[in-house]
Amino acid sequence: MAGKALRLQWREGNRIDLLQNGEAFFPALCAAIDAATHQVHLETYIFNLDDTGLSVLEHLQQACNRGVKVRVVIDGYGSHQHALEISARLGAMGAQYRIYRPEPTGLRHVKFDLRRLRRLHRKVCVIDESIAFVGGINILDDFVDVPDDGRGLRPRFDFAVRLQGPIVDDVARSQRALWLRMAWRRRDDWAAFYRRLTSWAQWRGARRKVVTQAFNPGRRAAFLLRDNVRFRQTIEDVYLATLVDAKSDILIANAYFFPGRRLRKALEGAARRGVRVRLLLQGRAEYPMQYRASRYMYCKLLDDGIEIYEYMASYLHAKVAVIDNCAMVGSSNLDPFSLLLAREANVFVQDTGFADELKAALEAEMQNDAQRVTEEALQRRGVIGRWIDACAYLMLRFGVAVTGKSSEY
């Protein structure tokens, strides 16, 4: 069993609800914020000031007005366009906020620095340490900047999960660790910081004595992180171990698919064992270079017996997988940015009912809004199309080489 081999921190007795697209996610998130009595802690890569973003800010404002402690962390690159205004709005309402690795200004903005690629890409919210949201959905309206094929706008295709039960404590712990890490940097008020740290340690000591409510029946799950210190390869290793153990079915939906050598071999090996391997990938290119680089690998994947489907209704932004009776939902793509550089958060669920629910949602989209990629279709790209794909692939490989991880790709 993959979880046993990797010594995952499995949590039993969780309630886990699948949320598809912002249509389900944002009402659930805002309702939980409205019910908060103690604390709301939100982290996101993109916080956009569209109608959805303004609505979330309004719900956070109301929480502050009730005396709830509100903390928000946004990524300095992903939210760069609105970072200053969001900070001003949060400060005015009495919320605490931090920007993860703010973008440099002036001449430093054009200087290459590998550290600027190390982003906060995870999307996590914990409310009263009793309910958590984890997934791939940013604070961004489903219909902003999506393609229009003349038949009306379709929302981004994405997922998140709402969590209750023992796993929430793991999610909350990861947020506190990052908040403390960000507080530690560039401080000039060490006395106040030490008092807050002592108070926090005392509160945590009392909190550990409280038994987190477990649901019966509940679902078994583990919270997975990826960072550049302790959890460099946790998400990738869980994928690898689960793919190696797969017996019948693998279905992966990924926005940016550029897996490393080990993952490619694991997928190839599963297909050779007779496991049905299906990939649901972007058919509409949100970022052309990543899309083209991924397409360059299609011929080899098809030769390995892997089925490929492209999602055509809108942008596919999901980062999910169903492998036999296990499911993965989170922020991590299978590409160098997620697996080598960014902070990511996934939930790995070992539950047949949940896996079946996610699988059914993916298969419905594949049947209605995706097209299968065939060798004949790839040949129709023409010489120029294949040349562009090859160039994009080489450029992305060069980008990986800059990170010093070219041996893994």
Catalytic residue among 121, 141, 142, 169: 121
DSSP labels, 198-216: HHHHHHHHHHTTSPPP--S
Asked about 317 being catalytic, the answer comes back as yes
109 is known as an active-site residue: no
User: Of these residues, 142, 169, 227, 317, which one is catalytic?
Assistant: 317
Neighbours of 321 (CB within 10 A): 27
DSSP 74-119: EETTTTGGGHHHHHHHHHHHT-EEEEESPPP-GGGGTS--GGGG--
319 part of the active site? yes
The Cα 406–Cα 338 span in angstroms is 15
Q: Among the options 17, 324, 359, 405, which is catalytic?
A: 324
**Residues 170, 319, 335, 389: which is the catalytic one?**
319
- Whether 324 sits among the annotated catalytic residues: the reply is yes
Query: Residue 147 to residues 20, 140, 254, 283, 361: CA-CA distances in angstroms?
Result: 19, 15, 18, 11, 22
- Residue count (the chain): 409
Give the closest residue to 316 by CA, choosing from 308, 304, 324.
308
Q: Rounded to whole angstroms, how far apart are CA atoms 278 and 305? A: 9
Sequence-distant (≥ 6) Cβ neighbours of residue 152 within 8 angstroms? none
- Catalytically annotated residue among 123, 141, 227, 369: 123
Beta-carbon count within 10 A of 166 CB:
20
Tell me the catalytic residues: 121, 123, 128, 317, 319, 324
